[in-house]
Amino acid sequence: MNGAMLALLALCLVGTQPADQKTVTASRVQLVVQSASSLELLEIELTWEGKSLTTIWDESFDQLHQFCDRSGDGMLDADEVALLPSPLALRQILWGNFTPNSTRHVSLEEIDANRDAQVSVLEMAAYYRRHGLGQSVVGMGNSDRQDDLHVAMLRALDTSGDGSLDSAELARIEASLMQLDTNDDELLSSSELLRHWEYPGATGTLGMLPPRDAATDREEFSSRSTLLLPIDLQDTHWAALLVSLRDKQSDTKLDAAESGLSPEIHQQLDTDGDAQLTAAELTAWRSLPSPLRWNAELSPNASSPTPRGTLVATDCWIDARVSRGRLGEVLIDAEKGIAAAWARADTTRNKAIDREEARSSPPLDPLFPLLDRNADGELTEGERDAWLALQHQIAEGLALLTIIDTGRSLFNQFDTNCDGDLSRRELRRLSEVVEQSKSLRDGTIQLDKFPRKLFLVASLGKPIALLEARETARPTWHRGMDRNHDGDVSRREFVGPLAKFDELDADHDGLISAAEAGALE
């Protein structure tokens, strides 16, 4: 893409758009991964049974608008707008709370963009997108005790107690750390290093939203390693914020060192050729192809499950995987609760609920105005089922991207299968990697020599587990003997003659790997 095209695109992006025109939306989640010296764009596209989440959300917005359009005129008046759930209420379907709930409802003033006292489906969709819906929900968590974990590992390795590490101590890493294996499972867990603390020490419960204002958001985003870009491509606040955060010379522009972009990308965006980027020039960045891209299918019935992957950025490793989410079972439980409440409230057994019966049922009482679509003062099973179908439609788009920033620590660097435990094989690599990275200086491990690590988990609803060991193909007997699930069979785990173990352990390291086991097949 040449400079003139990028300049035209930047002008289009900062322009305004009439409220009755469809918002130009990003087809995938875009996250800026940043450090002091680098700036990179991570693109994530999630699908459900082959359909993109943006398409699913477009369908959900259409159906929600139709459901609340009681007059059938294709527009929502003030009373119909009052039936819309808040963005928070829609997100809470993730946790099994059907809409509406106790959160506030939407007002005409905040959603009616063109001030004509009625709301089109495009205005409604734009409102929800401004509040973080329309793609996957992104939850962020920061591991809170990585520094303590790192110090605990160093203390265990410093067998001489002189406050520094030497080559002899590094050579004894496995023996030193395995002394802390209190449950004798041949794994070193985080809780054995830090009592009563479980790795990674965080959950993705902090909802990420795109920046709204460069001036007010500066403090909030200055310490974050990731920045969520808005789904609306016309929203350019993020570019102004990045310039504000990285502009060391206070000239409202970024030179190559400040931007942290690759030289090729910096030059492509520099449309006026002054070697500096303005916020307007930076907006075109998200239109360029990114080398950091991950596509994931969330359906458990997919013919080709999404493989787990490691995305390597300049200053960061990203472990990306799909996890089975809890949303399906949560929705089933919630539906059972509604069915039970309906049965209790239907005292006349006429398969309908009147207003008086609904008042005696806490689950049904707040739902009555929304479900009573013909306003006849009675809820039928058909009205209830139509509402439940809408909940399922919305739920299909409620994918959760959980991002856990675990920072930099020795523990992170050597937990290569990302299961929160260090195996014997992982510990044996530690001294080698420390030596190769030249991170040991004057007896101290220099953490800035290591990349930070992010866990990225995609799921429909909350993930079943944040951590999950990488699984490799291996014989059934090997999987069965591997009692601590570290991917190897140790001499203690092996069930059979020790002579056979020695035969299978081709490299004689005391562990039968999956590859060594596979060679027997």
Per-residue pLDDT tens over the stretch 157-185: 888 888 888 888 888 888 898 999 999 99
Domain count, the chain: 3
Determine, yes or no, domain membership for 175. Answer: yes
Q: What is the pLDDT, as a whole number, of residue 126? A: 92
Q: Are residues 218 and 117 in the same domain?
A: yes
Cis peptide before 497, with omega less than 30 degrees from 0?
no
Domain boundary among 430, 460, 490: 460
Q: Are residues 159 and 214 in the same domain?
A: no
What one-character-per-residue DSSP string does 498-521 give? HHHHHHH-TT-SSEE-HHHHHTT-
Q: Are residues 55 and 81 in the same domain?
A: yes
Q: How far apart are CA 180 and CA 166, in angstroms?
A: 20
**Residue (of 56, 52, 1, 63) closest to 27 by Cα position:** 52
Determine, yes or no, domain membership for 338. Answer: no
Determine, yes or no, domain membership for 363. Answer: no
Q: How far is CA 383 from CA 371, 372, 508, in A?
A: 6, 7, 69
Q: What is the pLDDT, as a whole number, of residue 464? A: 77
For residues 379, 385, 387, 391, the Cα torsion angle rounded to the nearest 10 degrees is 150
Determine, yes or no, domain membership for 273. Answer: yes
In 3-state terms, what secondary structure has residue 358?
Answer: helix
Q: Are residues 126 and 219 in the same domain?
A: yes
Q: Are residues 434 and 503 in the same domain?
A: no
Determine, yes or no, domain membership for 333. Answer: no
Determine, yes or no, domain membership for 60. Answer: yes
Q: Are residues 44 and 125 in the same domain?
A: yes
Q: Are residues 155 and 118 in the same domain?
A: no
Q: In terms of residue numbers, what domain contains 197?
A: 145-204+308-325+401-460
Q: Are residues 96 and 66 in the same domain?
A: yes
Q: What is the radius of gyration, based on Cα positions, of the chain?
A: 27
Q: Are residues 245 and 119 in the same domain?
A: yes
What burial letters (b/e) apply to 185-224, b meaning 16+ CB within 10 Å? bbbbbbebbbeebebbbbebeeebebbeebeebeeebeee
Q: How far apart are CA 61 and CA 270, in angstroms?
A: 38
Determine, yes or no, domain membership for 503. Answer: yes
pLDDT one digit per residue (tens) for the chain, 521 residues:
443 333 323 333 333 344 455 556 777 899 999 988 999 999 999 998 889 999 999 999 999 999 999 999 999 999 999 989 888 888 877 766 665 544 567 899 999 999 999 999 999 999 998 888 898 888 888 777 888 888 888 888 888 888 888 888 888 888 898 999 999 999 998 889 888 787 777 666 677 888 888 777 888 888 888 999 998 888 899 999 999 999 999 999 999 999 999 999 999 999 999 999 999 999 999 999 999 999 999 887 776 777 778 888 888 889 898 988 888 888 888 889 899 999 999 999 999 999 999 999 988 998 898 899 898 999 999 999 999 999 889 888 889 898 988 888 778 878 887 788 899 988 888 777 777 777 888 878 787 888 888 889 999 888 877 777 666 788 999 999 999 888 899 999 999 999 999 999 999 999 999 999 988 76
Q: Are residues 265 and 410 in the same domain?
A: no
Token pair 């990697």 is at which residue? 433
Q: What is the pLDDT, as a whole number, of residue 20? A: 52
Determine, yes or no, domain membership for 101. Answer: yes
What stretches of 25-73 adopt beta strand conformation (E)? 29-34, 39-48, 51-52
3-state secondary structure 289-329: CCCEEEEEECCCCCCCCCCCEEEECCCEEEEEEECCECHHH
Q: Are residues 425 and 285 in the same domain?
A: no
